[in-house]
């Protein structure tokens, strides 16, 4: 897109309306004077679902005046997806890894075929460039494929938004870092290994701000952070919030790799090993988009105070 077009109001298409997709849609809807149309792509099964939760979400989307485009990202051929995407200026993918292997590449190929002016792929996570190929989490290699596809062309602008881990995931019992039942924090790597986290709500708000920013942002990686902290910091904040004495135990890289070897298909074990390595999973909060623009975000301690489950 030429610089002269930078202030033209965009037709925006958001792919998916899960936890992050809804947050992005709500944040964009709140800035309705800054775009010309806002549409979400959903599967027919989602729109027709008898689930009360999905019905509530669809009703909320319609109340916000957001258009709905029906297409099945998994089953539809690339050409069919491209035909839909080509009607929009900016496509934002909120379709994550749960959509299956190959989906991130497929969506990128569809956007590039469509002629859409700008693409924000599902890269709401770690710095895949720094982590590199061949990490314990093999799904990350596809994220690098996406970056290669985008960087190898010049017709479609792109924006990558690196947010770190979802804040809630850091505290998720299944992830195994914060163990409230045992009163323990299991540090991944070492006590001093750092991790960056941002809540989905903040990611939604910041994504809207980044996409609608003037002057227009394109062909770059933009970083956000609700917090960047060590696992020692995490144990301290859990102790403050819970009022309990919290033990801190380190699970080193070798231990976690050995753990993964015992069950090589376990996705959570893959994530633990990657985060233990500490590369590409944390950055200075002071250097983020939200810090440089003075945008408020939810810290890990604030999130924990409101959400941490106590035994």
Tell if the pTM clears 0.75, that is, is over it: yes
Reduced DSSP (H G I as helix, E B as strand, rest coil) percent helix, strand, coil of the chain, to 5: 45, 20, 35
Predicted pLDDT of residue 287: 96
Q: What is the CATH number of domain 7-166+197-223?
A: 3.40.50.720
Predicted pLDDT of residue 99: 79
Six-digit token pair at 304?
A: 């924990």
Predicted pLDDT of residue 44: 87
**CATH ID of 167-195+227-282+298-307, from 3.40.50, 3.40.190, 3.30.70, 3.90.25:** 3.90.25
Predicted pLDDT of residue 221: 98
Residues of the chain with pLDDT under 70: 1-8, 310-311
Q: What is the mean pLDDT of the chain?
A: 94
Domain ranges, ordered by start, for the chain: 7-166+197-223, 167-195+227-282+298-307
Q: Read off the pLDDT of residues 74-90 as tens digits, 9 standing for 90 and up.
A: 999 999 999 999 999 99
CA–CA gap between residue 40 and residue 170 (Å, rounded)? 28
Predicted pLDDT of residue 6: 53
Predicted pLDDT of residue 4: 39
């Amino acid at each position: 897109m030429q610089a002269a077009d930078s202030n033209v109001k965009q037709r925006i298409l958001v792919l998916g309306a899960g936890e992050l997709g809804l947050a992005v849609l709500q944040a964009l809807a709140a800035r309705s004077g800054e775009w010309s149309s806002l549409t979400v792509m959903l599967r027919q099964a989602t729109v027709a679902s008898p689930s009360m939760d999905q019905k509530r979400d669809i009703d909320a989307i319609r109340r916000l005046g957001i258009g709905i485009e029906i297409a099945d990202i998994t089953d539809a051929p690339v050409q069919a997806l491209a035909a839909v995407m080509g009607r929009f200026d900016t496509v934002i993918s909120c379709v994550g890894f749960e959509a299956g292997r190959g989906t991130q590449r497929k969506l990128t190929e569809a956007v590039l075929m469509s002629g859409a002016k700008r693409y924000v792929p599902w890269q709401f996570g770690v710095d895949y460039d720094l982590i590199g190929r061949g990490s314990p989490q093999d799904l990350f290699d596809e994220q690098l494929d996406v970056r290669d596809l985008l960087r190898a062309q010049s017709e479609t602008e792109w924006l990558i938004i690196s947010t770190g881990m979802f804040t809630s995931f850091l505290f998720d019992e299944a992830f195994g870092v914060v163990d409230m039942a045992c009163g323990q924090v299991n540090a991944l790597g070492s006590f001093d290994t750092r991790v960056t986290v941002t809540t989905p709500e903040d990611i939604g708000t910041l994504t809207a701000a980044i996409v609608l920013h003037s002057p227009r942002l394109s062909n770059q990686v933009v970083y956000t952070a609700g917090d960047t902290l060590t696992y020692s910091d995490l144990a301290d904040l859990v102790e403050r919030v819970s009022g309990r004495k919290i033990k801190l135990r380190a699970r080193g890289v070798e231990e976690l790799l050995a753990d993964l070897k015992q069950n090589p298909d376990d996705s959570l074990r893959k994530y633990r090993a990657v985060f233990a390595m500490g590369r590409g999973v944390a950055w200075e909060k002071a250097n983020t988009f939200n810090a440089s623009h003075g945008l408020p975000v939810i810290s890990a301690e604030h999130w924990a105070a409101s959400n941490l489950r106590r035994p």
